[in-house]
Structure 1
Amino acid sequence: MQPLLLETNNVNRNTIFVKEINVKNLSNPVHFHKEYEMVLITKSTGRRIVGDSVENFEAGDLVLIGPNLPHVMYNDKSYYEPGNEQMVTAIVTYFRMDWLNEEFINSKEIPYFHELLKDINRGIRVYGETHKQVVLLLEQLLLSTGLRKILHLLSIITLLSETREYKCLSSIGYTNPHSQKDVQRISRIYTYIMDNFSEDISLETAATLANMTTSAFCKYFKGRTQKTFTHFVNEVRIGHACKLLFDDNLSMTEICFQSGFNNLTNFNRNFKQYTTVSPSEFKRNLKI
C-alpha cells in the first residue's frame, strides 16, 4: 500500500515531470501530494473522486488537481476481471509553482491567473475548445525538454487563465481532512463501494472495514467526504446508471438493477434527485 501523502521525487529534481501511463487498470489508493497534477485520460473509463466530487470519466477526460487535494480514479469493474484485455493510457504531468514569485502571480498583466490557481486547488475539469488546445499543448509538452517544457506548461496555464471552459470539481468549502493514518481505512471503504455498488451495500460491513461502530463510522465518513455514506453510494450508482442509459439494448429495469437499486420507484426517485431529470428524460435528451 502506497502512503497517502505521495512523495513525487521526480518533481523535486525537475520543475516539470511528464509521464505516459499504459497499464491494465488503475490501482493507486486515495492520495494527495505537494505538486499540481494534470491528467489526460486517452483511453479508459471509470469513476473519479476529487475532494468531495464523484464523477464518471472516459477517454478525453482532462483534469487539473491542486496540491494536497485527495483524489483517486477507479476503472469500471471489467478492467479488474481475469483475462482483461482493455488498457488504460494517459498522460500525467506533475509540476510545482514555487518558482513563480508572488509578484508574478498577482501581476495586473495576468489578472485571472491568481483566480485560476484558487480554482485548481478545488480541482478542475477542462472541456470545449480549450480542451482541444490544451491536449495539443500536452502532446508537445510530453516530447519537449528544458526551457521548451516550461514554455509549453506556461502556455497551458495562460490558456486556462483566459477561459471559463472548465468546471470546478470539489465544493468551495472543501478542505483536506485526511492524514497519513487514514489511507488504509478510506481506501478500503472506497474499494468496497466500487466493487459492490451494483449489489447490496452494507453500512455495517463498511463500518467493520473501518474498525468502527456504525455511528462512529457515519460521523467519520461524513467528515472525510462531506457526504453521508448513503448519499455517496447512491451518487456512484447514479453515475453508473447514466453510462448504461447510452445502451439502447438495456431496458430501464435492467439498468435499475445493474446500478444497484432494488426497484424502479427507488431508482427513479434517486435518479431525479441527483440529476434533476428522470431516467427516461435523460435518455430522451441523449437523442436530441
Structure 2
Amino acid sequence: MQFVFEKIFVPNNHTFISRQMPLASNRKIHSHKNFEINYITSGKGRRIIGDNVSEFEKGDLVLLGSDLPHCWDLQDYDGNEPPISIVTHFSENIFNSDFFKIPELKQVELLIKEANSGIRFKVKDNKEIHQTLLEMVNANGLEYYIKLLKIFNFLIKIKDREKLSNPTNKLADFTKNIDKINKVYEYVFLNIQEGINLDEASAVLNMAPSSFCRFFKKKTGLTFMEYVKNVRLGIAAKLLAETDKQITEICYESGYNNLANFNLYFKAKMGKTPSKYRKNFRK
C-alpha cells in the first residue's frame, strides 16, 4: 500500500491550526511531524492508524503522535451529509516549552507520550467537545490557546480510551526517507512566495532533477509540482479563512503570479471561487 508524506502548513505566528476538512482528503495513508486531534462530525468507514484497522463513525475522536501513518476510508456515503472532520494539528515541539513543564500540566504531557501509539477516546458524539473544537476553527490568539487546553482537559478526564497501534511497527522504507522528504518540504515553505526552482529543490538532496522527480513521486505519490500547487492552495485557503487580506494580495502571498490562474485553479480544486470560499467563514 502506498504511503504519502505530508507537511502541514502552520503559519509562523501559530503553534497549531484547526480546520474543518472533508474526510475524502484523508483517504491516502499519510504521515506528518505534527500531532493531530481528529474528530468526526459526519460520515463513517474504516480507519487505519499504524498497524491498526478499525471502524469509525460520527463522534469518533482520536489523538495521533508524530510520524504515525494514518487515513480515514469512507464507506456507505449516501451523498446527503458531507463526511467532515474537525482536525487540529499542533507542533511536535509544543510540549518542549517551559510552559508545559509546570506540574499542573503533567497529565497532559503523559497523554502526549501515549499518543505515539494513537489513542481513541471512547465518547459518543460529545456535544461540548464538538462545540469547543468547532470554536477553535475560527479562534485567534490567546483564546485559541485556551480552547486547546480546554480540549486537553476533556481528554485527560476520559478514562475509557484505546491504544490503537504499536509505535515500533513502521515500515523501514517509510521511515528512513522522512528526513529527506522533510528537507524538501522545508525548501518549499521557505521559498513558496519567491518562487520554486526544480534545480534548487534537487540540490537540497544532492540529486539530479530527473532522479529527484522520480524519488519524490515514489515517496509521496505526487509529482513535485503537484505538491507545490497543494502547498500554495493550502496557504491561500488559510489566508482566506483567517484574514481580511485582499484576494489579489493572497494570490501573490501564496506563490501565484496571475490572479486569473489563481481563481481558476482554486475553484477547480475547492469547488468554489476564493470569494465564495471566504464567505463560508464570515457567517
- Shorter chain as denominator, the TM-score bin is 0.5 to 0.7
Answer with 1 or 2: which has the greater Rg. 1
User: In angstroms, what is the RMSD of aligned CA positions?
Assistant: 3.2
Question: Alpha-carbon deviations, 1:88-142, whole Å to 9, x = none?
Answer: 1221111115244354444333332222011112111122389444223212212
Letter in 1 for 2:14: N
* Cα distance between partner residues in 1 of 2:126 and 2:114: 16
Residue equivalent to 1:154: 149
CA gap of 1:102–1:175, structure 2 versus 1, over 3 A, is farther
What corresponds to 1:49 in structure 2?
48
The aligned amino acid for 1:54 is V
Unaligned ranges ≥5, structure 2: 179-283
For the structure 1 residues 97 and 170, does the alpha-carbon distance in structure 2 shift closer, same or farther, using more than 3 Å as the test?
same
1:117–1:131 CA distance, 2 compared to 1 (3 A): farther
What amino acid is aligned across from residue 107 of structure 1 in structure 2?
A: I
Query: Counterpart in 1 of 2:18?
Result: 18
Distance of aligned partners of 1:26 and 1:47 in 2 relative to their CA distance in 1, 3 Å threshold: farther
Aligned CA distance change for structure 1 residues 155 and 166 (closer, same or farther; 3 Å): same
Note if contact 1:4-1:180 (Cα within 8 Å) is conserved in structure 2.
no
Residues 173-220 of structure 1 show CA distances to partners (whole Å, capped at 9, x for unaligned) of 54464527999xxxxxxxxxxxxxxxxxxxxxxxxxxxxxxxxxxxxx
For 2:177 and 2:82, the matched residues in 1 are separated by: 30
- The question of 1:118 aligning with 2:113 is answered yes
Residue correspondence of structure 1 range 48-67 to structure 2 within 5 A: 48-67=47-66
> Does the residue aligned with 1:110 lie in a helix, a strand or coil?
helix
Q: Is 1:127–1:165's contact at 8 Å kept on the other side of the alignment?
A: yes
Alignment of 1:169 with 2:164, yes or no, is: yes
Q: State the AA in 1 paired with 2:145.
A: I
Q: Structure 1: give runs of 5+ residues left out of the alignment.
A: 184-288
- Distance (Å, rounded) in 2 between the aligned partners of 1:133 and 1:3: 34
Within 5 Å, give how 1:228-243 maps onto structure 2: none
d(CA) in 2 for partners of 1:72, 1:110: 30
> Any conservation in 1 of the 2:63–2:115 contact (CA below 8 Å)?
yes
Query: What percent of counterpart residues are identical?
Result: 29
State the alpha-carbon separation in 2 of the partners of residues 108 and 181 from structure 1.
36
Does the 8 Å contact 1:49/1:72 carry over to 2?
yes
2:82 & 2:125 partners in 1: Cα distance? 26
Contact 2:116 2:167 in 1 (8 A): no
Deviation at 1:57, TM superposition (A): 0.6
Partner SS state of residue 31, structure 2: coil
SS at match of 1:4: strand
Equivalent position SS for 1:67:
coil
The 5-angstrom pairing of residues 1-288 of structure 1 reads 4-10=4-10, 14-22=14-22, 25-26=24-25, 28-76=27-75, 78-79=76-77, 84=79, 87-101=82-96, 103-128=98-123, 131-171=126-166, 173-175=168-170, 177-179=172-174
1:20 Cα deviation from its structure 2 partner: 1.3
TM-score for the superposition, normalised by structure 1: 0.53
SS in structure 1 at match of 2:129: helix
CA 1:99/1:73 → structure 2, altered by over 3 Å: closer, same or farther?
closer
